[in-house]
Amino acid sequence: MSTIKYTEEHEWVEIDGDSATIGITEYAQEQLGDVVFVELPDAGRAVAKGDEVAVVESVKAASEVYAPVSGEITEVNSVLDGAPATVNEDAIGAGWFVKMKLSDTAELEELLDEAAYQAFVAGLD
Amino acid sequence: MRYLPLTDTDRQAMLGRIGAANIDELFRDVPKAARRDELIDLPRRKGELEVERALSALASKNVPAGSVPFFVGAGAYRHHVPATVDHLIQRSEFLTSYTPYQPEIAQGTLQYLFEFQTQVAMLTGMEVANASMYDGSTGCAEAVLMAHRITKKKKAVLSGALHPHYRAVVENLSEFARDDLDLGEPVTDGTEDIIARIDDDTSCVVIQNPDFFGNVRDLQPIADAAHAKKALLIVVVTEIMSLGLVTPPGEMGADIVVGEGQSLGNPLNFGGPYVGLFAARQKFVRQMPGRLCGETEDAEGKRGFVLTLSTREQHIRREKATSNICTNSGLCCLAFTIHLSLLGEEGYGRLARINHANAVKLADQLDAVDGVEIVTPTFFNEFTIRTPRNALQVIDELADKGILGGVRASRLWPGQSDLDDLIVIASTEVNTDEDRAAYASALKEVLS
């Protein structure tokens, strides 16, 4: 069964064994406003934690999305190519960005759980 | 408002902060030979009329482009600019509002920027163009940086027949982007083998067409070779008039096209300001530098214009912006747009054919002079000749006879002695049969 973890950069990571699905949080999509473009990496690319993996562009800003964990990109969400607004409509679901195969599951320990992330977001307002 | 100049204390504090002992130290990059220790001895005062006379006397030592038969090109071209252009760009609606700070209320400005982009895209055969760069050379450097961003590779292969000023600007900017440049030797007859230099690390190939010496080439094989190595082809056009006749780079596989737009609407202007053209394939639009104007519909369904994709730009994305170009050559780009609109598609093509015909006629006449050899087998309105004497002396002696005969190649490649006898010569629609006859006969005298 899968668990969802978070980062202070407002990404979510859904973990299932040694694979992970990554996207931006509800809070992030709300702050960005209407998403008009998502630049995604090529599948097969190896990334280290903290590397820039995607750029999300809204009518207000363009922001980088950093890899919350290390590993290899196995799949990117091609739906976002034609329908970037999916990120606004369903940030935690259909609006995912990339899937990765993890190279170091120990890194997951550093991520926030739901309660810790919600507390972090509450502290921002 | 009062103007409060800095105090000595302010100056000392600033100098101290940057570690300079005095103001003169700030100029230490200027070569000693170019500096002057003492002040120029100017009279305390002179009447306006006296100043005018003195300066006119100085100016009359020049041989202005418009005063004699003129065949100088090499990146800046003398064309006829209709009086209408100057009249229209000086309308205050255009002249005083060249950069729209609150863009959407400046619909007129946005519309001409949009039309400028459309014209540039059509001329270059590309899908999308921006609303101008400073000039061709800075556009060229930006294209190299853009290729680096797209391919994530750093080695730019530059043609040796790229205008050396363009190369210098690329060198300047790439130093900060940590790009590696593979510079070629100047091959004068259009046979440079640039394909051999493309490898897996290559981010882009930069080639000028027509090249510095005037050669026109088929770029498709170079595009194919670049694409096979996942590199981009950047095509540089320094004489935009050529696209009225030469196949557009977009039809020969170019990924990015940069150009100098001066030839349309803009006089020589002592070398600037000019207007840089920048066009690319649609899929690269988000990596393009500079301003983009888009067409849209307002709430009532009426056609309108907006600045678009602004999130790439520095005022929003700060240091992550695609470029730090802030303003551009707005008025020069308006002049370009008006001139091209006046010419129309047909007029532009006809003007290009006149340019080419004039250059061919001149080449034939000069080729008939004993000892002169045409170096460039295929050209548009500019070609290169080899003379039996040093080109520097030939050009000086031609100038003494009232002919501005071209640019010696070694001026752009100092120390490259195999170019010492080459002259790059342009002939546009401004040259008459009499001009060409005068050139041929003066050259004959100089060489005899």
Q: Are B198 and B229 in contact (CB under 8 A)?
A: yes
Q: Do the beta carbons of residue B238 and residue B412 sit within 8 Å?
A: no
Where does B104-200 have alpha helices with state H?
A: 107-124, 136-151, 164-177
B432 close to A (CB below 8 A): no
> Do the chains contact at B316 and A39, CB–CB below 8 Å?
no
Contact B317 A62 (CB under 8 A): yes
pLDDT for the residue A124: 84
Q: What is the pLDDT of residue B212?
A: 98
Residue of B nearest to A37 (CA): B286
Closest to A73 in 3D by CA, of A95, A106, A51: A51
- Supply φ then ψ for residue B107, to 5 degrees: -60, -35
Query: Which residues of A fall within a CB distance of 8 Å from B286?
Result: 37, 39, 57
Other CB atoms closer than 10 Å to residue A85's CB: what's the count? 14
Interface of A with B in 45-104 (CB under 8 A): 57-62, 64
Distance from CA of A36 to the nearest CA of B (A): 10
Q: Is the dihedral of CA A81, A85, A88, A92 positive or negative?
A: negative
Chain B residues 228-287 with a CB less than 8 Å from chain A:
286
Reduced to 3 states, what is the DSSP secondary structure of residue B153? coil
**What is the model's pLDDT at position B323?**
81
Burial of A79 (0-12, 13-18, 19+ CB in 10 A): middle
Residues A95, A103 contacting (CB under 8 angstroms) = no
pLDDT of residue B99: 67
pLDDT computed for residue B326 by the predictor: 67
B155 has a chain A CB within 8 A of its CB: no
CA–CA dist A59, A53 (Å, integer): 20
Contact criterion met (CB below 8 Å) for B260 and B99:
no
Residues in Cβ contact with B90 at an 8 Å cutoff, skipping those fewer than 6 apart: none
**Cross-chain Cβ contact B316/A64 below 8 Å:** no
**Interface contact flag, A61 B311, Cβ < 8 Å:** yes
pLDDT at B125 (0 to 100):
98
For B312, which of A59, A62, A64 is closest by C-beta distance? A62
Domains and CATH numbers, chain B: 68-78+344-447 (3.90.1150.10), 83-339 (3.40.640.10)
Report how far residue B292's alpha carbon sits from residue B110's, in angstroms, rounded to the nearest whole number.
10
* Helices B433-447/B330-367 angle, 10° precision: 60
| Cβ proximity of A9 and A56 under 8 Å | no
| Cα B13 to Cα B79: distance, rounded to the nearest angstrom | 51
Low-confidence stretches of chain B (pLDDT < 50) are none
Phi first, then psi: what are they for B381, rounded to 5°? Answer: -120, 15
pLDDT tens for residues A32-65? Answer: 999 999 999 989 999 999 998 999 998 888 888 9
β-partners of residue A54 are A65
H helix count then E strand count, chain B: 13, 13
Say how far apart CA B5 and CA A86 lie, in whole Å. 56
Structure confidence at residue B2 (pLDDT): 65
Could you report the per-residue pLDDT of B309-349, keeping only the tens digit for each?
A: 877 777 777 777 888 776 668 899 999 999 999 999 999 99
Q: A with B: how many residue pairs have Cβ under 8 Å apart?
A: 17
Per-residue model confidence (pLDDT) at position B70:
97
CA distance B59 to B61: 5
Look-up of token digits 């590696």: B180
Does the interface ipTM go beyond 0.85? no
With residues binned 3-state (H G I as helix, E B as strand, rest as coil), the percentages for chain B, rounded to 5, are: 45, 15, 40
Query: What is the C-alpha end-to-end distance of chain B, expressed in Å?
Result: 67
pTM equals: 0.87
Output the CATH code of domain A3-103. 2.40.50.100
pLDDT at B24: 87
Q: Which tokens sit at B305?
A: 């214009």
